[in-house]
Structures are given as structure tokens and as C-alpha cells.
Amino acid sequence: MTMDVSNPTHTPTPPARRPWALAAVSAVAAVALVWSAAQHGVGAQPVGSAAPAPAAAAPRVTGLPDFTVLVEEVGPSVVNIRTVERVRRDESMGDDVEEQMREFFRRFGIPLPPGAVPRGPQGPDRVPEQRQRGVGSGFIYSADGFILTNAHVVDGAEEVIVTLPDKREFKARVVGFDRRTDVAVVKIDATGLKPVRIGDVERLKVGEWVMAIGSPFGLDNTVTAGIVSAKQRDTGDFLPFIQTDVAINPGNSGGPLINMRGEVVGINSQIYSRSGGFMGISFAIPIDEAVRVAEQLKATGKVTRGRIGVAIEPVDKELAESLGLPKAIGALVRGVEDGSPAAKAGIEPGDIILRFDGKPIEKSADLPRIVGNTKPGTRAAVEVWRRGATKTLTLTVGTFEEETAAAPAEPKVAKAGPLGLTVRELTADERRERKVAGGVFVAEVGGPAAAAGVRAGDVIVGVGNQSVAGVREFERAVADWPKGRPVTLLIRRGDWAQWVLVRP
């Protein structure tokens, strides 16, 4: 314990003779200690000295960060994005609050509490109107009005409304979006815009403090903070995500992830959740990947990627040892497409690609990213491991299927009037996301199907004991169903499947 010797009232002043007496006693005690130590063969410290105390380690972290300056600096560059689509609804459905609640539960797969949001009657009084479809975030990329956000925020929207922090609202034009990286660019005609500063993802470190600004649940300019949990997190073909523990919720999508220098290092895109809300894990698109895509979208409205035509899988330690590879790196080629750039270059199934265009392939997920970012037509050297030795081949990079900002061709739509359902074909992305081989997407629901609990966004994969591959099979199965009997539908909702009885 350390005593405050600067306090003059801490210890009274002793009498004049006392210091001499204490000194004498101390001297005698010291002599006795030295004699005792000598008798026992033990070395003694010099009189008046103390054993050195171990040096205390300097703290590695002190205090907590103050984000106020960052908020003042970056806040004016973050925008709220509302998307609108044309739908049909009942005139008697109630106020907008009920409709927004129903939309929230539908979009994020959360079961609707019984009686929480009443349904209005269904029937001929349905009239067309526009309503809010979703809420997201974005940030000003350049002073001339280009804004970055997520593709899933604007995909399918008929109208995009951007609200600036100063409450000005603008109707935005979708310049382009790329579903594979989930990056979109929109444009507004506005003045006095403050663009963000772009950071260097390479300098970002795990454990570093970061901050997010966005509109979770429509709450504009909400600030949350946390640390970088991991980098290069593999969750997609072309995206090495930044993982953080920053609180991200529906509506944060498209907002910036900001480092302590006030620079944007990512676009908040996804969360890991079993409830639809934040559970401590969120993912952001690295800003260097996003900028690469955004520049292509600004220039052409689409993204062009390279391809070489191989199917790959990871290389594990056991396989590497069996093939004589020093360590488990690279991408194992398990198939080569006929006539592809890889086939023409002589790449064979069983090869392990170690380097592409001079860039090392540490893990299999690196290859599609590197190839995808290579301009089609580029001649690239490919180093492979084959039969215990490296071999270098040369190929010309091909073109990956193009994606444009234009809406895809309208899928076939069918109406099952007696059931109150409007269904359409599933897109390839929807089948992949929902992990189904077939089925039909429920676009609108009302009448008996709504009363039975079917929701817009569900996927019908079966009618009775018959599987449904698409709209044609669904129409046939419903038409052949015995009249007067409840129609049994097998519904997929998220990761769950359930049977629903619809009484026409």
C-alpha cells in the first residue's frame, strides 16, 4: 500500500531524540541480521537496501475510444434509402403502421404473432397503391451525387427515395447493381454533398475498433460500434467479408463501416441470425472490392468478370501429404469444362492450382475471386502442382456471364383464384438461397390461403404427395385436386417446412 506522504497531517512530528534512538536500534538489528546470516551461510543484502521489485508491465490498452469526432465527420455523408413498389391491398386494411409491421415480419421471416396485426377482409375492394417496401442505408461516394449501397436494398424496387441527414429528399436513379457482391450504385441530383473518405482494407487489423452508421428499423443516423472480429471470412464466391461484432440490424444494410481514422473500410451487408435480429456477428463488404465493382457500374451499368472454366474444391492436409505437396494450399481441380480457357491451356482434373497471374492461391476460395477480378482477354500464367512437381501453363481469361442492372425477364406467373394465391417461378438465385431444387414463389396471398397461414415470400414445393417443380406443375396439381376437399400444400419458409391445409 502506498501512503500519501505529501499530506502534512498524515503523521505527527516525533520528538527530537526519537530519530537517534530509532537509528541505534536499526543499527543493532542490522548487525544481528548480518551475524545470523553469516552463521547460517546465507548472503545478506547491504544494510539499508531493499530487494528490487519486479517491473510492472505497461498496459497494452488504455481507455475507450471516443467516436464523437467520427460521427460529426462522417454523419453528413450517410443517407437513408427507402424503396417503393406497386402492390395491391385492401382499402380496409387499417393504417400504415399495421402494414409496415406486416412487411417487417414478412421480409425477415419472423412468425407473425397471432392477432398482433389484424388482417382486413379480402375481396373486390382491393385497389392498386404504392407503399414502402423496405428501408436501407447508403453513403455518398462522390460529390456529384453517386451513392453506394447494397444490391438487395434496391433490387426490384420501382422507386428509390434518398433522404439526406439535412432532411432533403431526392428520387434516385439506380445506375446498376451486382448481386454476386451485393453492391449497388444510385445517383441523385443534389448539391452540397460531402463524400466519404475511402480507407485501406489492408491496414485494417483484427481487434481494431470500427463504427457503423445507418438506419436500423428505419431509425435514421443510428451509430453503433465494436471491433473487427475477423478478416477474409469466406461466405460467398467473390466476397472475403470483414466480420465484426458491431450491432447491425435490418435497415443498416448499405451503410458504411468506418475505422478510427474516419475512413470507410466496408459496406455493412449481412448478419448471422436465427431470429432476424442482431446476434453478435455481422459482415461487411471490403471497400476495395466494393469500389472495384462500383467503378464498373458507373462506367457501364454492369460488372464483367473473368472465368477459366474449372470446378474446384479445397486441398486438405491429408491430400497434400499424399501428393507430396509441402503444405495444404491451392485449389484442387476436380473438373474442366470442355472448350474452356482452362481446357485449351492444358489444365487437367487432379491438378492443384497454386498461383494465378502471379498471385498465390492460399485457399480454394481465392481462385474465383482472383479470376473474377481479372479482365477478360488477359493472358495469365497458371502454376499447377502435377505428379509431384510444379508446371506453368498459359491461358486467355474468358468472360463470366454478364449481370446488368436491368430487371430479369419476368418469370411465368399463375393465379390460383379459389385459393387466393398468385405464384411465380423461382429464380436461380432464389433456389440457391432457399436450398430448394424447385417450387413456386408466393408473390401475393389472400382469401383462403391467407386464412390458412400462407405468406407472401413462402415457397410451395408440393401439392399433396406431388412435388412441384414450377408453375406448370403447380397449376396442373391444383386443377386435378378433388373438388370440395382442402388442398394440402407443402410450404418452405426459411429453413423450415410445414404442411398447410387450404380450404377453397
Contacts of 406 (CB under 8 A, 6+ apart): none
Residue 60 included in any domain: no
253 is catalytic: yes
- What pLDDT was estimated at residue 418? 79
Is the same domain home to 170 and 239?
Answer: no
* Cα distances (Å, whole numbers) of residue 491 to 434, 453, 464, 473, 499: 12, 10, 11, 15, 6
CA distance 183 to 197: 18
CA distance 391 to 336: 17
Is the same domain home to 331 and 284?
Answer: no
CA distance 340 to 141: 37
Selecting among 155, 182, 351, 366, the annotated active-site residue is 182
Residue 480: CA atoms inside 13 Å, Cβ hemisphere, count? 10
Is the same domain home to 278 and 330?
Answer: no
Is the same domain home to 334 and 297?
Answer: no
- What pLDDT was estimated at residue 414? 66
Contacts of 503 (CB under 8 A, 6+ apart): 448, 452, 486, 487
Residue 89 included in any domain: yes
Q: Which three cell numbers stand for residue 35?
A: 551475524
Cα 140 to chain centroid distance, Å, stands at 20
Q: N- to C-terminal Cα distance for the chain?
A: 83
Range of the domain at 424: 413-502
Selecting among 77, 137, 215, 253, the annotated active-site residue is 253
Cell numbers 475498433: residue: 209
Question: Strands 302-303 and 389-396, how do they pair?
Answer: unpaired
Domain count, the chain: 4
Local structure of 473: helix, strand or coil: helix
- What pLDDT was estimated at residue 143? 94
Is the same domain home to 92 and 134?
Answer: yes
Has 417 been labeled as part of a binding site? no
- pTM over cut 0.75: no
**Going residue by residue through the chain (504 aa), what tens digit of pLDDT does each one get?**
333 433 443 334 444 444 433 343 344 344 443 344 444 444 444 545 555 666 667 666 667 889 999 999 999 999 999 998 665 444 444 444 455 555 545 444 444 444 444 444 444 444 445 555 678 999 999 999 999 999 999 988 889 999 999 999 999 999 999 988 899 999 999 999 999 999 999 999 999 999 999 999 888 889 999 999 999 887 655 678 999 999 998 889 999 999 999 999 999 998 877 666 788 899 999 999 999 999 999 999 888 899 999 999 899 888 888 888 989 999 999 889 989 999 999 999 889 999 999 999 998 888 988 998 899 999 999 999 998 899 999 999 999 875 444 444 455 666 666 788 888 888 877 887 777 778 888 988 888 888 888 888 889 988 887 788 888 888 888 888 888 888 888 888 876 777 788 887
CA distance 29 to 192: 82
Residue 31 included in any domain: no
Is the same domain home to 156 and 179?
Answer: yes
Selecting among 152, 220, 245, 288, the annotated active-site residue is 152
CB atoms within 10 A of CB 97: 9
CA distance 235 to 5: 61
Q: What is the CATH number of the domain that holds 224?
A: 2.40.10.10
Domain final residue pick, 252, 269, 303: 303
CA 130-136-141 angle, to 5 degrees, is 120
Has 253 been labeled as part of a binding site? yes
Q: What is the CATH number of the domain that holds 378?
A: 2.30.42.10
- What pLDDT was estimated at residue 39? 45
CB atoms within 10 A of CB 404: 14
- What pLDDT was estimated at residue 223? 95
